[in-house]
Amino acid sequence: MDIMMTAEKQKEGPSWDVLFPHAVSFDQPGYNYTSMGVGGKIDRIMCPRSASELGDMVSLLRTHHIPYTVVGNWTNLIVTDKGFRGALIWTKNLDRVWAERDKNHAQKITAQAGALLMELVGLTMRENLTGLEFCGGIPGTVGGAVRMNAGAYGHSVSESIVAVTLMDGEGRTRAWEREDLFFEYRNVHLSPGHLIVDATFQVFPAAQGQVEAKVSKIMADRMAKHPLNYKNAGSIFKNPKNHAPAGHLIEEAGLKGYAVGDAAISEKHGNFIINRGGASAADILALIEHVQETIFLRYGILLEPEIKVIGEQ
Active site residue 174: no
Active site residue 133: no
Given a cut of 80, whether residue 200 has pLDDT beyond it is yes
Confidence of residue 313 (pLDDT cuts 50, 70, 90): confident
Where b means 16+ CB within 10 Å and e means fewer, 124-154 reads bbeebbbbbbbbbbbbbbbbbbbbbbbbbee
Catalytic residue among 53, 212, 251, 306: 306
Query: In whole numbers, what is the pLDDT of the chain averaged over residues?
Result: 92
Given a cut of 90, whether residue 106 has pLDDT beyond it is no
What local confidence, expressed as pLDDT, does residue 126 receive?
94
What local confidence, expressed as pLDDT, does residue 6 receive?
44
Active site residue 312: no
What local confidence, expressed as pLDDT, does residue 10 receive?
47
Given a cut of 70, whether residue 215 has pLDDT beyond it is yes
Report how far residue 124's alpha carbon sits from residue 120's, in angstroms, rounded to the nearest whole number.
6
What local confidence, expressed as pLDDT, does residue 169 receive?
87
Q: In the chain, what percentage of residues exceed pLDDT 70? A: 94
Catalytic residue among 35, 160, 235, 266: 235
Residue 302 dihedral angles phi and psi, to the nearest 5°: -95, 110
Given a cut of 70, whether residue 12 has pLDDT beyond it is no
57-80 pLDDT, tens per residue? 999 999 999 999 999 999 999 999
What local confidence, expressed as pLDDT, does residue 1 receive?
32
Catalytic residue among 127, 159, 178, 186: 186
Which pTM was predicted? 0.91
Strand partners, 152: 155
Structural domains of the chain ordered from first start: 7-90 (3.30.43.10), 97-210 (3.30.465.10), 228-310 (3.90.78.10)
